[in-house]
């Protein structure tokens, strides 16, 4: 049924009784949400009574709607305001994720590479130790009590001297600063050796690698002229996994779903579960870097990805009958749907984290709103450059006009479609993804690929939440969420 038809059959709202709400229809039921993140699924009869303000005040449903801020004359504003502040606490925080690109060199040629990496022979993109020192100094100018330094590339281990220096210097700086310091290394692991591993483990560095599934699929997506990409990644994963057992730092893996992945959801999940991983992140493709040129080969329509996601999620739910194993996209959304502690995943915030939650540092010291903004620099577009460690100040960068523009563009209240969407309390916009796909940071949500995928995933989750057994599994996923860092790449 069209939106216009649904609106046409709505009962008349009683403004004296009915609090603010947004709604979405699921077959014969209605999902209602509000800005406090509360939700309720109502039958058609219940929805009519709610809108008209005629629900029996002695009923359990009326009690739930009252507690959750849906009944206008029964709202506890002190309690609800406290909930809103907790859910939006990131608005009072400075950038805490600092992405450092120490080189663009890489020994892989992945079909979907966003970074537009260069050959291993081209050392012109290696960060100098002088620039590395300035990067760390700038990072510690952030007023955030927590700092995460994340190495990306290229392949960061191709410039080991810079990685080693930054890790050591950051720890030395932090002895005086006293911040909560986390260091992450996003790596394909192919250049790792025992000496490097010993240093990284000693300094409690988190590892994140890519694993696209079984060997044939992984090696098809992630071309490695120098050897077997899958075998190397799995070998080092097992080694690091064993050595970081029961420690605060550890190794995780990321999956990028290409067209080649779509028929193999079961094999992909089994690969992750078989390696002892806690879960899997079913991540869709972005039209950045090499993916722009290979889209006809590796890309897909949102509906195709959602069909893959639905099958994979249902299989993961079945796996949970035997062992605990989560899906990360679902887990992020469920943390917002079922709880009040926002996971602060930077792409699912309003406003998003670009420039106010994260900053990207290029190999030459250039500062960008985020890693995606830095990637546009590789395509000759400096729209998202916000300064340099060689001049200016931290304050000038975080208050740059590009940061302000992205903050406005990613505020859901400024998007007509988003402002009235039932999923607004749980969602977020990436203006740079909009820019990549539609040429405008404001985006056009009705035709936006990312929007369609996120709405589809939320539809799937709310449908599954109707089953008490599945809801119990979902609640266990968010109870077990203890990690200090959520990888976003």
Q: What is the pLDDT of residue 159?
A: 98
Token pair for 60: 């359990």
The Cα 450–Cα 444 span in angstroms is 11
Residue 185 phi/psi, 5° resolution?
Answer: -120, 115
> Which residue, chain included where needed, has tokens 């069209």?
2
User: What is the β-pairing status of strands 326-327 and 279-280?
Assistant: parallel
Residue 253 phi/psi, 5° resolution?
Answer: -135, 155
Contacts of 390 (CB under 8 A, 6+ apart): 131, 134, 365
Token pair for 5: 């038809």
Q: What is the pLDDT of residue 9?
A: 63
Cα-only R_g, the chain: 23
Q: What is the pLDDT of residue 372?
A: 92
Contacts of 18 (CB under 8 A, 6+ apart): 50, 51, 52, 53, 70, 71, 72
Which helix (H) or strand (E) segment is 150 a member of?
Answer: strand 146-152
Beta carbons within 10 angstroms of residue 321's beta carbon: 8
Q: Is 353 helix (H, G, I), strand (E, B) or coil?
A: coil
Indicate if the pLDDT at residue 487 is higher than 50. Answer: no
Find out whether 23 and 422 touch, Cβ atoms under 8 Å: yes
Residue 46 lies in a domain: yes
Residue 440 lies in a domain: no
Residue 187 lies in a domain: no
Over residues 112-157, the pLDDT tens digits come to 988 788 999 999 999 999 999 999 999 999 999 999 999 998 999 9
Q: Confidence class of residue 489 from pLDDT cuts 50, 70 and 90?
A: very low
Residue 350 lies in a domain: no
The Cα 249–Cα 85 span in angstroms is 29
Q: Tally the domains of the chain.
A: 1
Beta carbons within 10 angstroms of residue 205's beta carbon: 22
Token pair for 323: 């062992």
Over residues 234-292, the pLDDT tens digits come to 999 999 999 999 899 999 999 999 999 999 999 999 999 999 999 999 999 988 888 88
Write the secondary structure of 4-57 as one string of H (helix), E (strand) and C (coil).
HHHHHCCCCCCCCCECCCEEEEECCEEEEECCCCCEEEEEHHHHHHHHHCCCCC
Residues 337-355: what's their mean pLDDT? 91
The Cα 225–Cα 209 span in angstroms is 18
Say which residue, 356 or 482, is predicted with more confidence: 356
Q: What is the pLDDT of residue 290?
A: 83
User: Which residue range forms the structural domain that includes residue 38?
Assistant: 3-87
Find out whether 308 and 261 touch, Cβ atoms under 8 Å: yes
Helix 468-479 to helix 449-464 angle (10° resolution) is: 120
Stated pTM of the model: 0.93
Residue 336 lies in a domain: no
DSSP class of 384: T
Q: Is 407 helix (H, G, I), strand (E, B) or coil?
A: helix
The Cα 366–Cα 379 span in angstroms is 15
C-alpha 239 chain-centroid distance: 27
Q: Is 181 helix (H, G, I), strand (E, B) or coil?
A: strand
Quote the mean pLDDT of the chain: 93
Burial of 431 (0-12, 13-18, 19+ CB in 10 A): buried
Residue 100 lies in a domain: no
Q: Confidence class of residue 34 from pLDDT cuts 50, 70 and 90?
A: very high
Range name among 4-13, 153-162, 380-389 with the lowest pLDDT average: 4-13
Alpha helix segments (H runs only) across 321-448: 328-338, 371-378, 394-398, 401-409, 416-419, 431-438
Residue 120 lies in a domain: no
Token pair for 485: 């860092």
Residue 181 lies in a domain: no
Residue 29 phi/psi, 5° resolution?
Answer: -110, 165
The Cα 278–Cα 106 span in angstroms is 28
C-alpha 413 chain-centroid distance: 20
Half-sphere exposure of 14 (CA within 13 A, CB side): 16
Q: What is the pLDDT of residue 257?
A: 97
Over residues 3-22, the pLDDT tens digits come to 444 554 678 899 999 999 99
Find out whether 150 and 97 touch, Cβ atoms under 8 Å: yes
302 cis-preceded (ω within 30 degrees of 0): no
DSSP class of 105: B
Q: What is the pLDDT of residue 288?
A: 82
Beta carbons within 10 angstroms of residue 404's beta carbon: 13
Q: Is 300 helix (H, G, I), strand (E, B) or coil?
A: coil
Over residues 452-471, the pLDDT tens digits come to 999 999 999 999 999 999 99
The Cα 281–Cα 209 span in angstroms is 12
């Amino acid at each position: 049924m069209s939106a216009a038809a649904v609106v046409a059959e709505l009962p008349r709202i009683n403004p004296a009784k009915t609090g603010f709400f947004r709604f979405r229809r699921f077959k014969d039921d209605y999902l209602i949400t509000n800005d406090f993140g509360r939700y309720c699924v109502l039958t058609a009869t219940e929805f009519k009574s709610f809108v008209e303000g005629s629900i029996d005040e002695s009923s359990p449903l009326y009690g739930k709607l009252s507690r959750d801020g849906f009944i206008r004359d029964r709202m506890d504003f002190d309690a609800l305001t406290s909930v809103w502040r907790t859910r939006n606490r990131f608005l009072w925080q400075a950038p805490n994720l600092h992405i450092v690109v120490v080189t663009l060199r890489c020994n892989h040629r992945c079909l979907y590479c966003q970074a537009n990496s260069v050959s291993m022979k081209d050392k012109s993109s290696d960060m100098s130790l002088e620039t590395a020192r300035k990067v760390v100094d700038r990072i510690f100018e952030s007023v955030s009590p927590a700092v995460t330094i994340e190495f990306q590339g290229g392949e960061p281990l191709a410039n080991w001297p810079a990685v080693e220096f930054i890790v050591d210097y950051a720890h030395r700086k932090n002895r005086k600063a006293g911040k909560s310091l986390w260091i992450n290394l996003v790596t394909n692991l192919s250049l790792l050796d025992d000496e490097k591993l010993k240093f990284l483990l000693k300094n409690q560095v988190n590892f994140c690698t890519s694993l696209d599934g079984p060997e044939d699929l992984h090696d098809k997506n992630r071309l490695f002229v120098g050897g077997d990409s899958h075998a190397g990644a799995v070998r080092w994963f097992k080694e690091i996994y064993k050595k970081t057992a029961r420690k605060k730092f550890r190794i995780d893996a990321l999956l990028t779903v290409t067209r080649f992945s779509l028929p193999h959801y079961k094999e992909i999940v089994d690969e992750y579960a078989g390696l002892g991983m806690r879960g899997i992140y079913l991540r869709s493709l972005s039209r950045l870097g090499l993916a722009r040129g290979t889209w006809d080969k590796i890309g897909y329509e949102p509906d195709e990805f959602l069909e893959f996601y639905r099958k994979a999620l249902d299989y993961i739910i079945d796996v949970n009958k035997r062992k605990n194993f989560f899906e990360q996209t679902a887990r992020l959304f469920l943390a917002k749907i079922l709880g009040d502690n926002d996971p602060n995943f930077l792409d699912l915030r309003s406003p998003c984290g670009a420039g106010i939650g994260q900053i990207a540092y290029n190999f030459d010291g250039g500062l960008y709103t985020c890693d995606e903004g830095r990637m546009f620099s590789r395509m000759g577009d400096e729209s998202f450059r916000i300064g340099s460690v060689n001049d200016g100040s931290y304050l000038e960068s975080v208050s740059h006009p590009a940061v302000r523009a992205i903050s406005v563009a990613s505020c859901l209240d400024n998007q007509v479609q988003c402002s009235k969407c039932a999923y607004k309390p749980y969602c977020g916009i990436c203006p740079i993804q909009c820019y990549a796909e539609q040429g405008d940071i404001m985006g056009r949500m009705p035709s936006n690929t990312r929007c369609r995928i996120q709405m589809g995933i939320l539809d799937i989750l709310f449908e599954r939440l109707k089953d008490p057994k599945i809801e119990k599994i979902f609640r266990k996923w968010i109870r077990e969420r203890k990690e200090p860092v959520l990888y976003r790449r």
